Structure 1
């Protein structure tokens, strides 16, 4: 593994309407863990819903996983609570990023929080530019990435849907969607 002194930390944004934003980030989780890197996953939206990737991560000593959100917030009945939860998770995420304990941090679905106005895209971009350790890799996922976050990133990928099983009446399948 390349030493931190020799590593250029990369900031990646996975956004867009298509499937695969989180899945791509989770692939990076296992790639980095396989190289012996310490990884932290912080989920902003998904709550205590069990996923296959979280179950797999439990088998690794070098992956720390935090599913901290209130669940699927587009069905919210309490937007004030969603804002508070998102802000609390953001503060927690910043502590993990600057802790020096991790080589890769995934901020899963943080882009939704910025898109909803719960966390400012400018605030996230400023933190990336000013406080993220130079050697740390950081991935931010979710639809509607803030323009400021896109500008602060090194690599930005927009997932574009061409066709989706849901359109054919196929519901989310274990092992594919979760």
Structure 2
């Protein structure tokens, strides 16, 4: 593994309407773990959902995984609670990044909570610019990435929806969607 002081940390944003944002981030997380990097994944929306990627990550000593949030916020009955939960998760993200323990941090679905106005893009971008160690890699996923986050990112990929199985009446499939 390349020594931290010789590494250029990349901030990567995965956004857009198409499928594959989180899957791409998790693939990168497993790649980094394979190189003995310390990996942190914090999920903003998933809550108590059981996912294959979290089960796979539990087999690695160098991946720390937090599936947090109140579930799918577009079905929320209590937006104020979702806002509070998102702020608490954001505080955890900042605390973990400040430890400087991790080589790669994935903030899964943070763009959604930013899009909902629960955490501002300006606040996220300022934290990244001021506090992310220069050698740390950071991935932010979710639809609706803010302009401020896009502007400070090194790499931005927008997934474009061409066709989705859900449109054909096929619901989320284990091993593909979760």
TM-score by shorter chain over 0.5: yes
Q: Deviations over 1:57-105 (max 9, x none)?
A: 0000000000111000111111110010000000000111111110000
Number of residue pairs aligned between Structure 1 and Structure 2: 178
Partner of residue 98, structure 1: 98
Partner of residue 23, structure 2: 23
Alignment partners' CA distance in 1, 2:141 and 2:45: 11
Partner of residue 171, structure 1: 171
Counterparts of 1:1-178 in structure 2 under 5 Å? 1-178=1-178
Structure 1 unmatched runs, 5+: none
Alignment partners' CA distance in 2, 1:30 and 1:3: 19
Shift of 1:170: 1.1
Alignment partners' CA distance in 2, 1:85 and 1:47: 10
Q: Deviations over 1:96-122 (max 9, x none)?
A: 111111000000000001000000100
Shift of 1:166: 0.9
Alignment partners' CA distance in 1, 2:171 and 2:84: 31
Alignment partners' CA distance in 1, 2:123 and 2:171: 36
Q: Which secondary structure state, in structure 2, belongs to the residue aligned with residue 101 of structure 1?
A: coil
Query: What stretches of structure 1 move > 6 A for 4+ residues in a row?
Result: none
Structure 2 unmatched runs, 5+: none
Alignment partners' CA distance in 2, 1:73 and 1:35: 35
Q: Deviations over 1:126-162 (max 9, x none)?
A: 0010100000000000000000000010000000011
Shift of 1:169: 1.2
Note the aligned Cα RMSD (angstroms): 0.5
Report the TM-score when normalising by structure 1: 0.99
Alignment partners' CA distance in 1, 2:162 and 2:81: 35
Q: Which secondary structure state, in structure 1, belongs to the residue aligned with residue 133 of structure 2?
A: coil
